[in-house]
Amino acid sequence: MLTVSLHGIRVVAPIGMYAIEKTEPNTFETDVDVWVRTEAGSAWPFIDYAIINRIVADAFTPDKETLEELVQQIHAAIKSAFADAEKIKVCIRKLHPRLDTPAAYSQVCWEG
């Protein structure tokens, strides 16, 4: 099994459930892992991580409010772009979320 990964894709976007997040954008990091089956003696599939980067960057539009929405959209788009993928994992982190106590990040992942 071949794994192609692109981690730490950083996007600043006005996404969140609170009004302040629409005027003071959050910083997000996304990790994507794509697994594809390989066979000895056969050409291995090519997973273009520039396509992964574009899919992630394009997903961060102001109409989104939750990380769950984003992770579903990104996962589906990557599955569509790479039909040979056996498994895809997408993790999105909101860095330094606005909470009562400091936190490095909140994170949502979907693997399947």
What are the residue ranges spanned by the domains of the chain? 2-111
> What's the pLDDT score for residue 56?
99
Look at residue 30 in the predicted model and tell me its pLDDT.
99
**Cα dihedral sign, 89-4-96-98:** negative
Helix (H) or strand (E) holding 19: helix 19-23
What is the dotted CATH code of the domain comprising 2-111?
A: 3.30.1130.10
Residue listed under structure tokens 């990964």: 5
pTM of this structure: 0.94
Q: Could you tell me what percentage of the chain is helix, strand and coil, using 3-state DSSP and rounding each to the nearest 5?
A: 30, 35, 35
Q: What type of residue sits at position 1?
A: M
What pLDDT was estimated at residue 86?
Answer: 97
User: How high is the pLDDT of residue 110?
Assistant: 98
Task: Give ∠ CA 78-38-79 in degrees, rounded to 5.
Answer: 10
How do the pLDDT tens digits run along the chain, 112 residues long?
Answer: 999 999 999 999 999 988 898 899 999 999 999 999 998 889 999 999 999 999 999 999 999 999 999 999 999 999 999 999 999 999 999 999 999 999 999 999 999 9
Give the DSSP letter of residue 78: H
Q: What is the pLDDT of residue 55?
A: 99
